Amino acid sequence: MKWEEFNSDLAVAKRYVLTDIQCPVCGERIYMDTGMVLTTFPEQYQYECVHCGWYGGSHRKWEAKP
């Protein structure tokens, strides 16, 4: 893989998953960062809103419902 491919918007986009969780600030759907797990005990997962900039961590990992 070339550096340009690795650092492309597509590579970054695959790292974030759109959830069905509403942002506590603006109400839009938030994203879960699948490329980062915070090393607390128990671990935490990072979430963020691209609309208003809110971000936060949770011990709960969001999973898509079939």
The pLDDT tens digits for 23-61 are: 999 999 999 999 889 999 999 999 999 899 999 999 999
Q: Is residue 63 part of a domain?
A: no
Domain encompassing residue 22: 3-58
* Beta strands across the sheet bearing 16-22: 16-22, 29-38, 44-48, 55-58
Query: How many structural domains compose the chain?
Result: 1
User: Rounded to an integer, what distance in angstroms lies between the CA atom of residue 37 and that of residue 33?
Assistant: 8
Structure tokens at 22: 């509403």
In degrees to the nearest 10, what's the CA dihedral of 18, 10, 12, 52?
Answer: -50
pLDDT band at 12; cut points 50, 70, 90? low
Q: Is residue 10 part of a domain?
A: yes
User: Rounded to an integer, what distance in angstroms lies between the CA atom of residue 58 and that of residue 44?
Assistant: 5
Q: Is residue 66 part of a domain?
A: no
Q: Is residue 43 part of a domain?
A: yes
